[in-house]
Structure 1
Amino acid sequence: MKIYTRGGDGGNTQIYTHKATRVDKDDIILECYGTLDELNAQVGMLCSLLSQQKQEALEPLLSTNRAIQRALFQIGFGISDSSQIDAGQTVALENHIDHLQAMLPAQTHFILPGGCVMACHAHICRTVCRRCERVMVALSKQHDVDSKAIAYINRLSDYWFVQARYLNHLHDVADVPV
């Protein structure tokens, strides 16, 4: 199978919702797919960074981030056909957030993104995730977007914020206040 088809050379492409549809490449649904894909790639980079460390404390983060990658793929599929995201996945993220936060000192001020390389990349995932949420909300004004998917993406950015703080904490890097 060839990777290229030449079908999009004129600035439009075919997507598969309930039926095959041609759309311009600047259509908001493609913006949403692309942002989900970008986010998934950033999470893949974070997983690579986590796996290079060979620290037992990072294994649960790696496992959770891999599950998140699968969920992001499900969300993209859900936008084109039918959602496979359920509310339990958002609850699971909340549980991960609570677990990580319980190991951190209380946050008493706004902090700057940064710290160790893994934490910096978690912050990149967070910011791309926020953009993805904005695009999904805009898309929801034109197409059906499962509200559970939007809730999941909203919680996901919170997860990466806490993950970044946790990664810095593990590496004895203090939060930098604004």
Structure 2
Amino acid sequence: MVVLNKIYTKTGDAGETALGNGSRVAKHSSRVNAYGTVDETNATVGLARQHASGEMDAQLAMIQNDLFDLGADLCRPDMEKDADAEYQPLRMAAAQVSRLENEIDAMNAALEPLRSFILPGGSALAAQLHLCRTVSRRAERLTVELAAMESVNADAVKYLNRLSDWFFVASRIANNDGKDDVLWVPGANR
């Protein structure tokens, strides 16, 4: 259980922060950049939810919770020491990736195949979901960069890869099942 009585601690005033295992790193480290961008993704999902309802809102709520799980996973280095940890660290699981895949497949079944690239926009919800997509792609790039230097849970990377696809397909659903997608017209303004 988390208890936050005091919000500021002053421990980061010198430009360092604590990771989930208690070690301290620079706030600009690759690991902090990765989970910080996951947090930013979560904030964009909160904005999208202002325009969502029903099943879409419920799915976005699950994604927000997953993103907290993902942040917890990424802020805890040294996966090889998980078995020796005082408590079992929270790690992303293959089931979370599979859930996204199943939801993508279900949403995509209602859509006509794309014959053009689409521009981010259309309805307010679709525009917000495109923002979620681009921020989650940045989180993925930063996490892949981190994984090239340090140990990262493979399911964390897979989740981020599927998540941006989920946001793309969901944006088409939010655009009247793709009927109101804004199509790219190559060279239209030459």
TM > 0.5: yes
User: Residue 100 of structure 1 aligns with which residue?
Assistant: 107
Larger mean CA deviation between 163-172 and 37-46 belongs to: 163-172
Residues 33-61 of structure 1: CA deviation (Å, up to 9, x unaligned)? 210110011111111221xxxxxxx4111
User: Residue 23 of structure 1 aligns with which residue?
Assistant: 25
Larger mean CA deviation between 119-128 and 95-104 belongs to: 95-104
User: Residue 136 of structure 1 aligns with which residue?
Assistant: 143
Question: Take 1:174 and 1:130, find their aligned partners in 2: how far apart are those partners?
Answer: 20
Query: How many Å apart are 1:29 and its aligned residue?
Result: 1.1
Which of 9, 32, 35 is matched with 1:33 structurally?
A: 35
User: Residue 152 of structure 2 aligns with which residue?
Assistant: 145
Q: Which amino acid aligns with 1:32?
A: A
Residue identity (%): 38
Question: Take 1:74 and 1:96, find their aligned partners in 2: how far apart are those partners?
Answer: 19
User: Residue 50 of structure 2 aligns with which residue?
Assistant: 48
Question: Take 1:170 and 1:110, find their aligned partners in 2: how far apart are those partners?
Answer: 15
The answer to whether the 8 Å contact 1:104/1:169 transfers is no
Larger mean CA deviation between 168-177 and 104-113 belongs to: 168-177
Residues 4-58 of structure 1: CA deviation (Å, up to 9, x unaligned)? 11111111122222xx1111111111111210110011111111221xxxxxxx4
Superposed CA RMSD: 1.6
SS in 2 for 1:49: coil
Query: How many Å apart are 1:177 and its aligned residue?
Result: 2.6
Question: Take 2:50 and 2:38, find their aligned partners in 1: how far apart are those partners?
Answer: 18
Question: Take 2:51 and 2:74, find their aligned partners in 1: how far apart are those partners?
Answer: 29
Which segments of 5 or more consecutive residues in structure 2 lack a partner in the other structure? 77-88, 186-190
Query: How many Å apart are 1:141 and its aligned residue?
Result: 2.0
The answer to whether the 8 Å contact 1:83/1:146 transfers is no
The answer to whether the 8 Å contact 1:165/1:175 transfers is no
- CA 1:12–1:176: 2 relative to 1, 3 Å: same
Structure (1/2) with the larger helix percentage: 1
Which segments of 5 or more consecutive residues in structure 1 lack a partner in the other structure? 51-57
